[in-house]
Amino acid sequence: MKKNLPNTITILNLISGSLGIIFLLQGNISYAIFMILISAIFDFLDGSAARLLNAYSDVGKTLDSLADVVSFGVLPGLILYSSLTSNDIQSMIPGFLPYNGILVPVFAAIRLAIFDNDTKQKENFRGLPVPANALFIGAMVYIYVYIPDSFLHFDTLSFVYLCVGSSILQVIMIGFISLKFKGVGLKANLYRYIVLIVAIFLISAFKWEGIVLSIAFYIAISILTAKKD
């Protein structure tokens, strides 16, 4: 039973991502974005469960990547597309612009394929993790659609290319801090604790803007401090 627990949680990740797509088909962008958050929680829990129970398997590894492609690739890509295809927005932008959303699942799939076949990513990641990119895009879309007076509300072109730029970071082989904690000791987890504490503060203080700022901080501190293989 315990060996199946991580895979069960992974399936909940996939279900959440699929529900997000259904919400999009119903025209509910906010619920779809919320499902990225739920998927990210399940993605964190399945890895934690696997490490805690020592329940690793090739099936679980493949299932995790397939679920992540849906929840953190296809779903945020469709969210980005949907945010740019409403009647009041589409008339003001180039017709090709919404299709940049296709790049999100493309780069996510490439990132996951590299991760699954790269033995050097056990300590630190190389390339922005797909859940972080999905959270960044989800928060950016929420701000763009629902918080027009936000201090992080960008014009349409900047908004789109920030989302595409973060997606490209997934396949650029620079070091990113792994948030897989090694016990609770401070020395082995210093930068993980820093990222976690800063994220809690920023999200508590700024909510959706805090998610964007947290991912930006994670990118910055990773580039400055993560070990390069």
CA distances from 53 to 10, 45, 68, 188 (A): 15, 12, 21, 21
3-state secondary structure of 178: coil
Q: Please, what is the Cα angle at 191 between 188 and 192, to 5 degrees?
A: 80
Q: Which has the closest alpha carbon to 21: 83, 71, 69, 80?
A: 71
Question: What are the pLDDT digits (tens) for 28-84?
Answer: 999 999 999 999 999 999 988 887 888 788 888 899 999 999 999 999 999 999 999
pLDDT in tens, 93-128: 888 899 999 999 999 999 999 988 876 766 678 899
CA-wise closest residue to 132 among 46, 39, 16, 29: 39
Looking at domain 2-176, which CATH architecture does it have?
Answer: Up-down Bundle (1.20)
How far separated are the first and last CA of the chain, in Å rounded?
37
